[in-house]
Amino acid sequence: MCFILDNINKIPQNANLWLVYLLSYINEDNTLEEISKIVYCIDFLYSKLELKTNELTYLVGMTRKLLEKIRMFYKEDGSYRSSLRWSPLDETRYALFAINLLEDLIQDIIFYYSVSELNPIKKIFESIEDIEKTFKLIKSVK
């Protein structure tokens, strides 16, 4: 739904409620595919909102939780794995998509809301454990 709304340049009237409801979908069983979809929707909704204190606190906590969940799926070969449904390359793409949006979201939250609970992002994809291994994995697939 967020993808469609984004493409027709519309937002829901109760977007703040949508964001809170969306954040409630983050749990221990989320796959990287689900995380990437959730993060896309967070990015869409967040950019349209002025957050209240409780919403901001919830978003900051869930942003940290999502990054930690993604880190848990990292494997020694540089890939990310959360499910047998997708290939290691697809799963890694889901992880990179989510990391990119989450790092951007962190910078935005720090800038616009002066949040000190998040560490500033110093370089893109700094949340990847071993960027060289991940790069080699992606480059090796033709």
Q: Where are the beta strands (DSSP E) in the chain?
A: none
Percent of the chain with pLDDT over 70: 99
Q: Write down the mean pLDDT value for the chain.
A: 93
The 10s digit of each residue's pLDDT in 94-113 is: 999 999 999 999 999 999 99
Phi–psi pair at 125, nearest 5 degrees: 60, 30
pLDDT interval class at 142 (50, 70, 90): low
Cut 0.85: pTM above it: yes
Q: How many residues belong to the chain?
A: 142
d(CA 67, CA 72): 9
CA 105 to chain centre: 8
Cα distance between residue 67 and residue 114, in whole Å: 20
Both tokens of residue 21? Answer: 């409801």
Contact 98, 35 (CB under 8 A): yes
